[in-house]
Every structure is written in structure tokens, then in C-alpha cells.
Amino acid sequence: MATIKKEDCPCPRRKKSTCPHKPYRVTYREPGGRSGKPRQVSFKKSDDAEAFAVKVERDKDLGTYLNPKAGQRTFQSVWEEWVSAGSLEESSKANYASVYRNHYGPAFGSRTIGSINPEMINAWDAAQKEKGYKVNGMAVRRSVLSSVFNYAVNAEIIGRNPCRKANPRKRQGLTTSAPVRDEDIPTKAEVLGIIAEAPKLIRAGFWSMAGCGCRPGEALALAEDSMDWDRGILTVDHQVSAFGCQEISGYRRGVKRGTKHRDFDEARRTPVAESIVGTFQDHLDTFGSWGDRGWFFESPRLPDRHPSYDWFLDTFKAAAKAAGTPQYTPKSFRHFFVSEAIHEGIPLFEIASWVGHRTTRTTELVYGHMVQRALERGARTVETRLGLNLRPFQGVITPPRLVPLEEDEEAGEDEAA
């Protein structure tokens, strides 16, 4: 049990409010009985000491005890522990370090994590909005911040996540996935125009984005070993990245196993149209392949090296500008692939698995208006295909009675007799 002891205060101001000493000392043990670590906390007033003693014993009984000193750690130290505790790749760690310097560090870095409250988080949100940041970016950073606090709660550093009380996303309808607009999706003619302006060396990579839903880094990591040529299936399990590539390529910049939202030993599969299979084969016939896996693309400057991610993006931007559609990015080709799949009525869970979304919820959030259109088309299709005229049946079908009539009860009794 927690005990309270009053110590003599030598201060001449001991009976005044200006006395700096805390004569009331609470002594208790952490959970674990006699094996629990003994701790002491001092208070200036006896009422505060008694309240703390009652609370600490109650928390021990309920299993909700937290070390009061744990919440005195700075947000920066908890952030660094959170980053190192996960299985983040080097590229993600570099991105998090940049985001921390620009967004989290100035507002929370030096504060104790236990002192951060919902009002501070709301003020931080307001400051970001004043700086003109996009709503989607703010939502993503807010989600990351909440993850850090959730980690602190699970690690018994703090008791509650302050982001749960300060949740403007529910009020403003913010999501971490920005919906795609119609103007973000190129038409088939625009896709063909951009690919026509691209160097022949990289056209197959552009087709893998528009026709298979690959991300830019995944498109650069196409290889003969990734293709099931007979069935027309592409296994996406590698990507070109700027970090952590020594395992395969021997260089920091290059290709590595694993893709976004997938572990190193996981892969996703996506269908490849017969015409795109032919495009891939034409690329290999013209340029050949290299390396153990039969990589499609080689750096135009350095032999036996993968093209850089930046070169790929710059090449796409130049092709889009030359085609008269500079507003499009490589992600626009993924949007084209998903939109075409939705228009054809392919189930969302299939599309999500093809493009590497974590769940169908992401697909619904990003392509929600297309999904709605697909549902409307589905209703019209059922009406057209079935061709049923239900008017003759209207008014004929008698609904079941919930309360039996008297004659029904009498008939039932006669049958039982």
C-alpha cells in the first residue's frame, strides 16, 4: 500500500504558499508485489499526496498503472524510438527524418510527451492550414502523429492518445487518401501520346504502369523472372529505390526486393494483356536483358546498373510535355489502369490486389466516384440482361401474416388432435 510521510521543512516560509519545498512524500511499489520497484513522489499539499496515493493503488488494481516519470520523456526521444522500433526501410526512415524536421520537431520535439494535449494538436493543425498545406498532406501527417502516440500508449509511456480528443478529420471529412478527379486520369489517346514521345528504351516501363498498374519504381524493376509469359501474369516483388539496395545490386541506389505495403517475402500478381506481353517481348528482342533475373532496363550511362528513379521521372515529364499533356505524372498511368478496370466491372478486391492497395477501402476512397458509377451501370446491366417485366406480379404476391388468424389456430389444433 502507498504510504504518506510528512517531512519537516527547514524553510522559514514553510507555512506560506511561497515555500518551494514538497514535504509530503508518497512511497509505493510498482506492480509486482515485493518484486515491484519502490518509488517516491513528493507533493506540496497533503490533499494532492492523498489523491495520488489512492490513484496509484487503484491503477495497480485495474492494471492501468503508468510510471509517472515515463511521460517526462521528450517527444523527440519517443519519436526516435518509434522509428527504430519498426521495420521501416531506409527510404522511409529518410522521409520520416525530413518530415520530423519540417513539421513535428518545431512544434513538439522539446516538449515532454505527457504534456502534449489536444489543444496543442489543434493549434498545430491550424498552423499547418495557415501555411497553405494541402488537406491530404495534413491528414497523412496527422495519421503519423497519432501512430506515434499510439506507440507511446502501448509502451506504457503515456495513458491516452491526445489525437483522439483532437480529431478534426471527423469534422472536416479528411482522409489520408485523396480522391482522384476525372481530370487526373488520362484518356487512352493521351496515354498513347505520352508513350509515343518517350524514348524506346523505356516505353515498356510506361506500358507496365498504364497496362499493369505498376508504380514507377516497380516498373523500373521489370525482369524476365517476374513474367509468366504463357499465362500473362506479372509478379511484382521488386522495386528500384534510392536506399537500401546493397543486398541485390551492391549499390545504395538500385533495385531491392519488396514493394510498398508488402514484406520482403511477399509479392502481388497482376494480369498482363496479350498486347502488352508482346510489347515486353519486343523490348527484350530489341534491347536484351541483363543480370541474373533478366532485368529489362539498364542505366543509359552506367552498364550493369539500374536506371535512377529521378531519370525515370524526368523522362516521363519530358514525354508528357512533348505530347501536350504536362499535367500528368506517372501516377496518372496507374489511375488510368484502375479506372479502366472499374469501368469493366472487375471486383474491387481484385483491383486492390493487382495494384497493391492495403485494402479495398483505399480503392474506394481514391476512386469512389467511379465505383458509384460502376454500381449504377451494374443496376442497368441487370435490368437489361434479365429483361424481366415484373408488372404482372405486382399486387399478386400476398405478404406473410405476422399474427395468425383464429381459423388458422383452430385448424392447427384440429391437426394436432
Number of domains in the chain: 3
Residue range 247-256: average pLDDT?
54
pLDDT tens column, 354-374: 988 877 877 877 776 666 666
In a shared domain, residues 196 and 279: yes
Low-confidence winner among 95-99, 175-179, 194-198, 297-301 (lowest mean pLDDT): 175-179
pLDDT reported for residue 281? 95
Report if residue 256 sits inside a domain.
yes
d(CA 273, CA 229): 11
Determine the Cα–Cα distance for residues 133 and 131; give it in Å rounded to an integer.
Answer: 6
Q: Are strands 238-241 and 24-29 parallel, antiparallel or unpaired?
A: unpaired
Q: What is the Cα–Cα distance from 195 to 203, expressed in whole angstroms?
A: 6
Cβ-contact 39, 28 below 8 angstroms: yes
Split at pLDDT 50, 70, 90, the class of 384 is low
> Do 199 and 149 belong to one domain?
no
Torsion of CA 373, 375, 377, 380, to 10 degrees: -140
Task: Examine residue 136 and state whether it is found in any structural domain, yes or no.
Answer: yes
- The predicted structure's pLDDT at residue 248: 46
**CATH number, domain with residue 140:** 1.10.150.130
Q: Do 155 and 135 share a structural domain?
A: yes
pLDDT given at position 162: 87
Q: Are residues 207 and 321 in the same domain?
A: yes
Q: Do 150 and 282 belong to one domain?
A: no
| 233 Rama class: left (phi>0) / alpha (psi -120 to 50) / beta | beta
For 88, the grid coordinates are: 521501416
Distance (Å) of CA 191 to CA 23, 210, 227, 337: 76, 8, 23, 10
Does 410 fall in a domain? Answer: no
Domain identity same for 86 and 145: yes
Please state whether the predicted TM-score (pTM) of the whole model is above 0.75: no
Q: Which three cell numbers stand for residue 406?
A: 383464429
Residue 377 lies in a domain: no
pLDDT band, residue 274 (cuts 50/70/90): very high
Out of 20-34, 59-73, 114-128, give the one with best mean pLDDT. 114-128
* pLDDT of res. 400: 59
Q: What is the pLDDT of residues 172-223, one digit of tens each?
A: 444 445 678 888 899 999 999 999 999 999 999 999 999 999 999 899 999 9
Q: Give the domain extent around 9.
A: 3-65
Chosen domain end from 124, 142, 172: 172
List pLDDT tens digits, range 141-150. 888 898 898 8
- Residues 284 and 348 occupy one common structural domain: yes
Three-class DSSP labels, the chain: CCEEEECCCCCCCCCCCCCCCCCEEEEEECCCHHHCCEEEEEECCHHHHHHHHHHHHHHHHHCCCCCCCHHHCEHHHHHHHHHHHCCCCHHHHHHHHHHHHHHHHHHHCCCEHHHCCHHHHHHHHHHHHHCCCCHHHHHHHHHHHHHHHHHHHHCCCCCCCHHHCCCHHHHHCCCCCCCCCHHHCCCHHHHHHHHHHCCCCCHHHHHHHHHHCCCHHHHHCCEHHHEECCCCEEEECEEEECCCCHHHHCCCCEEEECCCCCCCCCCEEEECCHHHHHHHHHHHHHHCCECCCCECCCCCCCCCCCCCHHHHHHHHHHHHHHCCCCCCCHHHHHHHHHHHHHHCCCCHHHHHHHHCCCCHHHHHHHCHHHHHHHHHHHHHHHHHHHCCCCHHHCCCCCCCCCCCCHHHHHHHHHHHC
